[in-house]
Structures are given as structure tokens and as C-alpha cells.
Amino acid sequence: MEQSIRSGLLAIGAQLFRKRTRRRNESETPTPADEPAAITSGPLLDPDTGEFAGSDDALIERCSLQGLLVRHRGRWQRRIVQTITFEDAQTHRRSMSIDVSGSRLAAILDEWDVGRTPLYLPVSTGMLPGPILDIDARDGRGAALSIARRHENNEATTYQLLAVLLGRAPLQPGSRTAANDSWIKVAAKTIYRYLKCQDKTPEAVVKEFTQIANMPDDIKNFATSADFLSELDYLKHYYTLHVVYTPTRDDERRIRDDVLKISWLERANRTRLGIGEALRSVFVPGPWPYAIDLPLLTGAKHGGTHIRLVAPEDLEIGRLAITFGGQEIPLLPQPARKAADSRPYTTPQTLSNDHSDPAVELTRNRRQVEILARPLALAKLEDRIPRNNNNSDVPPQWVLTATFNPDHSRFLLPAAVNLIATVTLLCFAHHFSWGTASNPTPSTAFLSMIPPLVTMYFASPREHAIAGQFHAFGRMLVTLSAGIALLYAALETYDTHRTSTHCLPLWHPLDLCVGAQTSFTIVISICCLSILYLIVLMTSVNASHIDAFRLRKNLAAARELLPEEQKKNGALFRRRCSLYFQGIVSMIFMTLLVRRNFDTPLPWIRRVIGADIVL
């Protein structure tokens, strides 16, 4: 609903303002009627006070132009692709590629004599106020583009909002006087100062609007309405990023097509777990989910908006979820095709809330996820989502939650195999040393020193920072177990007296002496606990890969948005039970490494539990 209101407000300002500008030029200016108006270059609002340095006509021209650029950005922005990659565990990079249509941009700019005047071109919505790290912008030729500074973003947003107010002014060419238009600069100053001052409240803006002299009553009532104040507050807390852009023209003065490339760094946010989930993660650890904001979905105006998430190096994408205002939406897989199709190592999978009329389509494999938004269906879906639990001060946002799973072969599997070999050799050494009547030999104990050394080698971090954080506790536990096993094997090897007590000389009288049987039991117990922990880690990673478990959890979280026929008479419960059974079977096949494609159920499973129920 807010998105449709936003579009309606900008439509009123853009359409009515174009008419007003054209009529004013025809009736009041001495220049020929076919000569476009000139746009003054550079910022005209004072960065500190918000005072406009030009005339009322110049302010009106700026507002009209900026309003049209924002309103019709779905036309001149032919395609937007935003790629999200993780630099480390705390930082990810957003890289945007915007295809600019020169002919569609010219349809807007030809109303005015822009020439070589730079424009405030809106490129990304939903930006959080604050410094932007390592931002870089370039055009299709590789030339650097200037990023609008904070006061320039506020100035462009002021023009955009003022265009909405001016669009409601009476269209009476020839009747405009300086006294009638004196309120325009004051309104611009009021909007600009509200955007600049984070502590300023909407109530203060309402008071300032009501005190503006000569402001028409219908405009004043609209400026103090809840819809306009909501849009004003949204653009204050989630501003629009602009670039200072000069269109390039060919020899015939036609605007060329261009490709803008912009990238910057953001802080990566891991989702906050509840008390129950935090306690459960201690005993049943698993990949930690990351929450990634999707502001482009909130401001999506056309079907050419693509959001791409790329997994870090040596990691794979596991469980996925998309929420709006805290409410998870259904992500259902496509029905299976009858004809067998050959697919590569990873199975591309298309998920959507409704495959007949999708609002969000998510195509994924193990390394990459691409989200495609459909604006009309997206607006309908936003209207269906209940917002009773949301904080009214924070506008709802689209968020993608993703987990990144490490490969077993990097640490988990080698460490587990070496610990198992360590336990086996230690058991043999203990048996031949203390369980036989013959003279013991230290050769078996000496061999048991090799696996702990290999385990310590695999325990050294050599992967991405996200995988390093996931393996941190396991790596510490494995290193501790390998160190204790190595110490025990060294004592067994070089203890020539073969006494029933092992003493570790620390500092007299603090020598640590433990019985041989007790020390063996302690070492084996610690190693077995480490092995068990590594097995649990590998199992949780495998479970994150299985789509049946993801869909089972998704159906429970998004049940409010499911059709009624899928919830009545226990249909949802039976569906989740069948998905749980399918997930267990897939887990068995994954553990045995019999099947690599785990997203599609096996044919005999589909016959037993029903393909329609599973999918």
C-alpha cells in the first residue's frame, strides 16, 4: 500500500508539473515556444540552512525535472543487477550494474535545455544514513562518476517531494505572482532541514508547514497529511543514493545508452537468535544465518530488477528465506518435470511464492542465488502481509536470510578421520602395553603420535572468514584433543620404566600424576567427544542442504500466506510430515554419498508419499 501511495504521489507531481512548466513557458517567457527551459548547474540549496539561491522559476524547474527522473526511473533504467559478495565475516560488498536507456532518458530531458549540466540521477533506494565505505562509481567508458554527498542527496530528495506538493497547485497560467509563489522556497527549506536533522520529528514539520504564509490550503492540508508525512519520514531514514551524471551524446546530439557500475561495502549482519535457539545451537551447532537487506525490492518499479547473492570461496549456499516486515513468505519449488533432464553437478532450483503469478522468483544452485521481482504482484503480496506486530516507527523491509555451508573436505572430514585413527592406534598401544603378559614394545604407541600431528595440520585455518568462524569451536576442540593424545602417546612411547602411573613434571611439588588406566580413559573420552561434535557439525551442514527440511520450516513460518485449501483438514500437517520423512531419507543418501542431487526426491519416494504432497 505504501509503495502504491508513493507512486501515486510522484505521478501527480510529475504529470501536473510538466503541464504547468510548459504553459508557463508559453505564456510568460519572451523566448520562442519551442525553446526548452534552461537548467542551472550545481547545487542551489545551502548545505547548512537549506535556503534556495535561485529564483522561484529555477526551483520549480529543478523540482519538475527531479520528480520525472524518480517517477520514470523504471523506464530509463532498463535493467538493474545488484550482486552481493562477502569480503569477510563482517563485511559484504554490493555491486550494482544499471543499464541506462538513452532514448527514454532523452524523453524526460528534452523538456529542458540540460546540455552538459550534471543531473542527480537516482540509482539506489533504501540506503541507511551514515558513511559509505569504499564506494566507487563508473560509467560505461570506465570514467569515474561523482557520488552525491549527503547534502546533495537531501537536495535531490527535497526537489522530489516538493514536486509532489507543487503538482497540487492550481494550473492558471499567467496568474502566478511573486507573492503567491513565496511559499515555495520556505517549503523547500522546511523539507530540507527535516531531512538533514535526524532529531527533528514529524510534529515539528507539521507545525512549520501550518505557519508558511501564502501557502494554498489544499497544498497545506496535503503536506500535513499522514501519507505525505509517512513518505517524508521514510526518505529521511531510508534515503535514495544519487550520482552526479552528465549524459553522453553522439554527433547528432542524441543521448547514448550507458551502463553505470556502482559498488560499496556494508556491514554484514548475522541474525539474532532467541534464547531457545541459542541454547540449542550450543548442543546442536549449525551454520549461522546472515540477514541481508533487499532495498531494491522495496523500490522495485519494473521487472528488470535482479538481486544476485554469490557464496564466498569454498562455501556453498544452504537454507534460504525471504521476509517482509518480519513475516516469512512461502518459497515453493516448481513441480517436477515428467521428462528427465540432464543437469550439472548442482541442481538449479526455482522457488516462488506462487508459480502461476509470482511476486518473487528465486533461482538458486549451491554457489549462487538470483532473485527476480515482479512489481505488480509484489505490491499485492505486501498488502496481504499483516503488520500488527511491526513497529510503526520502522517501515517494513525485505530481508534475505541465508546460511553458508563449508565443504567437509577442508576441515571436518579430515579432522574426524584422523581422530578416529588416533583413537584406534591408542587403543592398540594400550592393549599391547598393559593388556598382555609379554614384554611391551613402544612401537605402536610411537605410531599413534602421527595422526595427532596430522590433525593439528588440518586444524590450522586456511578458509574464508565465515568458515573460520563456523569451525572456530570445533578447531579449538580438535586441537585440544590432538594435543592431549600426542602427549599421552609420547609418555607411552618414552616411559621406559612402564610404571602404572603417568607423571607429568610441572614444578615440584606440582607434578601431575595420574594412573595409566585413568589417563587412557580421559584421553579416549576427549577424543570421542570431539569426534561426536564433528559428526554433529557435518550432519547439520548436510541438513541445511536438503530442501525438504527448508520447505518444512518455511511452510510453518509462512502459513498465514498459504491458501486456505492447503491448511484445512490437517493438509499442512500431513505435508510437513511427508517432507520430514523425505528429508531423513535424503540425509541417509547424503551421508552414504550415494546421491549428489538431493533437491529432487527419488522416484520410489515420490510413489510412496506422493509427488503432489512433497512439492
Q: How much is the pLDDT for 33?
A: 40
Measured CA to CA, the distance from residue 61 to residue 18 in angstroms comes to 9
Question: Nearest to residue 532, comparing CAs of 477, 605, 480?
Answer: 477
Q: Is the pLDDT of residue 302 over 90?
A: no
Q: Which of 60-69, 147-156, 174-183 has the highest mean pLDDT?
A: 147-156
Instruction: Place 93 in a pLDDT band, splitting at 50, 70 and 90.
Output: very high
pLDDT: which is higher, 508 or 393: 393
Please say whether the beta carbons of 309 and 368 come within 8 A: yes
Please say whether the beta carbons of 361 and 371 come within 8 A: yes
Please say whether the beta carbons of 52 and 162 come within 8 A: no
Q: Which of 191-205, 298-312, 426-440 has the lowest mean pLDDT?
A: 426-440
Measured CA to CA, the distance from residue 498 to residue 494 in angstroms comes to 9
Please give the mean pLDDT across all residues of the chain: 76
Question: Nearest to residue 323, comparing CAs of 344, 350, 294, 351?
Answer: 294
Q: Is the pLDDT of residue 326 over 80?
A: yes
Measured CA to CA, the distance from residue 354 to residue 412 in angstroms comes to 38
* 3-class DSSP state of 598: coil
pTM: 0.78
